[in-house]
Chains A and B, each alone.
Chain A
């Protein structure tokens, strides 16, 4: 079956612009996670969705970051007023509900803020 897909694969933007990153999870996966991978910080958790609700947003680095999930499926991560330190690869993962929660990752979106 289809895996997790993310779009765009690459995004170059200017400092101060807003960006939206999209994640399509594996069909039937109720849990969805966003992570960020950067050279300085490694792989970091950002936010967790169960269905359409986000009970854990503790990893979002600032209030410029937000995410939503609709229909228990597609999720969008929005970064407002992008800064150069936001440059990273943003990874999405989905899983079945715990305790069967092995996370399968998408290919990521590489964000470059100029």
Chain B
């Protein structure tokens, strides 16, 4: 069975610092997808990124970047020059390509607080 581990329960950094959120996953499938979602205080889960298991290229989107390493089963998320608006709970998730069913297995989330 698949599993996602986010070992960091809470992180606090001062605004403008860089911060990395860790995500380690377990799966027996060779085809799978990894995700990051943001849950701000309003509560709605906001999609950030989807990466398939065959694409190990790192991705950058503005201040956000993701590092996918199959060798260590990790999919880490870095926020550069953090801002107060980045304060939220961040979830890493995994889905296996299973006959169209891409149900998500979530980690327990990391609560990120950006201190102004």
Contact = CB atoms under 8 A, between A and B. Distances in A.
Q: Is the interface of A mostly helix, strand, loop or mixed?
A: strand
Contacts of A97: 100
Contact of B102 (A43, A59, A91, A95): A95
Contacts of B99: 55
B109 A42 contact: yes
Contacts of A91: 45
Interface string B44-57: 11110010100000
Interface residues of B, number: 26
Interface residues of A, number: 26
Given A43-B91, A99-B97, A106 B104 contact: no
B101 A108 contact: no
A104 B47 contact: yes
Interface of B: 33, 35, 37, 42-47, 50, 52, 91, 93, 95, 97, 99-109
